[in-house]
Amino acid sequence: TGGLFVSGQRHMLNKSLQGLVGLRNLGNTCFMNSILQCLSNTLELRDYCLRNCHITDLNNNCRSNTALIEEFAKLTQSLWTSANNEPISPSEFRNQVQRCAPKFVGCNQQDAQEFLRFLLDGLHNEVNRVTVRPKVSVLDFDHLADDEKGRRMWNMYLAREDSKVVDLFVGQLKSSLTCTACGFRSTVFDPFWDLSIPIAQKISGEVTLKDCLRLFTKEDVLDGEERPTCTKCKARRKCTKRFSIQKFPQILVLHLKRFSDSNVRASKLSTYVNFPLKDLDLREFASEPSERPVYNLYAVSNHSGNALGGHYTAYCKNPALGEWYSYNDSRVSPMSSSQVRSSNAYVLFYELATPSHMGGNVKSAKLAIRCLQYASMFFLFCFPYFTQKGHFEASLLSLECIFFSFKYRLLVLSIYCYYRDLRSTPHTPNARYNLFYLI
Ligand SMILES: [Zn+2]
């Protein structure tokens, strides 16, 4: 038994090291390594690769180019299954990146956020469940209520772009344009993969992430050359424009605009932005007041240095251990959660907390099922006692029958709750997971 114990312990040790593997720098590839580690710690994306779900998606839509997702999945699998924690070389993956985007060829310092955009888009295109994209039909939704218009626009988007990557990362942004002459308001809905938010400036006091988000959603005046055409006035008018979030994604990527221009990168703002690690409540930025989006941070891509040159690292919360680690190319080291916030934070990865709209009925149904499980366990343990007495067998059987019928009635009730929740919040992707929580 001693040997068994030791091997069991070794197994545990290896398991606890999973995901704590560094990536070799292939010559200024720290931008890529930083993003790869953030994505590797994105639980659902990681599991998608570990469970080979991408292969099912690839088989369903026979595409010719599948190398990017294949190399990405291979890399993720190596990071989470390697027996030792020797750093891994991402050269095969890098070759595929270069094939798809010659922009990333060479040894130039690249922008991590641009790379993230390119990578997510590339992965999505290879595992898109839509094989033949329907033609874009110009439909007039202007007569509809904003909420309904947003939903239809979202469904139109899904009819063309639908993949695990979209399920996780894409949200919907609403922009409202109001004509200052006639007061006519028009709305536009656009999908977003991340939000690039400006860094607020303060004369005194700390700048918070919410300050930056408020600046991003602040009413903006479009005047002069920027004047849009008002559909009612049929002329170019001075308008006000503001953003709000129509649909919150499962994974919210916030890009802090530290560089003045992503192409020239003339200067960098190294303002310290205070962001919460837990319970980032974005209710005030929602288009619909009923939404209660609360996010928790799980990864940060950091940039140190100036606009001309610098270094990328990543801070990620290991989903298995719940602890923070610093990923600096091939080096991985544990860190305290108090060190996660710094003026180097560049791209923030937040995950939606368990949806609060998981209604009371669903919660009590879950509790009832648990109670039944304990009760049946109790009866199971008492079984020898009952059989010893002899005359309890018959009653035990009948009791069991009652329990079984109860269990099925509860299952029916929970399915009913699930569908009702889905109907009341149809555009919240989490509603569809409630059933799995129940089971
Ligand atoms: Zn007008």
Which structure tokens are listed for 99?
Answer: 């094939």
**Catalytic residue positions?**
30, 311
> Which amino acid is residue 36, in one-letter code?
L
Show Cβ contacts of residue 75 under 8 Å, excluding neighbours closer than 6 positions. Answer: 36, 40, 88, 90, 92, 93
What's the CA-to-centroid distance between 184 and ligand 1, angstroms?
A: 5
What's the CA-to-centroid distance between 377 and ligand 1, angstroms?
A: 69
Res 286 pLDDT > 80: yes
Query: Among 22-26, 51-55, 280-284, 382-386, which stretch is predicted with the lowest mean pLDDT?
Result: 382-386
Which structure tokens are listed for 362?
Answer: 């669903």
Query: Among 170-179, 246-255, 410-419, which stretch is predicted with the lowest mean pLDDT?
Result: 410-419
Q: Is the distance from CB of 179 to CB of 233 less than 8 angstroms?
A: yes
Q: Is the distance from CB of 69 to CB of 54 less than 8 angstroms?
A: yes
DSSP H or E run through 436? helix 434-438
What's the CA-to-centroid distance between 217 and ligand 1, angstroms?
A: 22
Nearest-angstrom CA–CA distance, 210 and 273:
9
Query: Among 100-104, 160-164, 290-294, which stretch is predicted with the lowest mean pLDDT?
Result: 100-104
Percent of the chain with pLDDT over 90: 57
Task: Tokens 């009819």: give the residue.
Answer: 159
Q: Is the distance from CB of 183 to CB of 264 less than 8 angstroms?
A: no
Nearest-angstrom CA–CA distance, 396 and 403:
10
* The pLDDT value given to residue 7: 40
DSSP H or E run through 230? strand 229-230
pTM score, whole prediction: 0.78
Pairing of strands 171-179, 331-334: unpaired
* The pLDDT value given to residue 2: 36
What's the CA-to-centroid distance between 186 and ligand 1, angstroms?
A: 10
**120-136 pLDDT tens trace:** 999 999 999 998 888 87
Average pLDDT over residues 182-211: 94
Nearest-angstrom CA–CA distance, 259 and 364:
49
What's the CA-to-centroid distance between 174 and ligand 1, angstroms?
A: 19
Name the band, by pLDDT with cuts 50, 70 and 90, for residue 89: very high
Q: Is the distance from CB of 112 to CB of 300 less than 8 angstroms?
A: no
Spell out the alpha helix ranges (H) of 105-169.
112-127, 146-158, 164-169
**What is the C-alpha end-to-end distance of the chain, expressed in Å?**
36
* The pLDDT value given to residue 11: 43
Res 265 pLDDT > 70: no
What's the CA-to-centroid distance between 178 and ligand 1, angstroms?
A: 8
Q: Is the distance from CB of 201 to CB of 272 less than 8 angstroms?
A: no
* The pLDDT value given to residue 412: 67
What's the CA-to-centroid distance between 145 and ligand 1, angstroms?
A: 19
Res 398 pLDDT > 70: no
Nearest-angstrom CA–CA distance, 153 and 264:
35
Res 239 pLDDT > 60: yes
What's the CA-to-centroid distance between 228 and ligand 1, angstroms?
A: 10
Q: In what order do the strands lie in the sheet with 239-247?
A: 185-192, 171-179, 239-247, 220-222
User: Residue 182 — φ and ψ, nearest 5°?
Assistant: -110, -10
Percent of the chain with pLDDT over 70: 75
Residue 425: exposure state from Cβ atoms within 10 A (0-12, 13-18, ≥19): middle
Neighbours of 423 (CB within 10 A): 9
Domains and CATH numbers, the chain: 169-314+345-352 (3.90.70.10), 362-423 (no CATH)
* The pLDDT value given to residue 427: 43
Show Cβ contacts of residue 76 under 8 Å, excluding neighbours closer than 6 positions. Answer: 39, 40, 45, 46, 49, 50
What's the CA-to-centroid distance between 234 and ligand 1, angstroms?
A: 7
What's the CA-to-centroid distance between 105 and ligand 1, angstroms?
A: 48
- The residues facing 347 across adjacent strands are 255, 301
Which structure tokens are listed for 386?
Answer: 């009952």
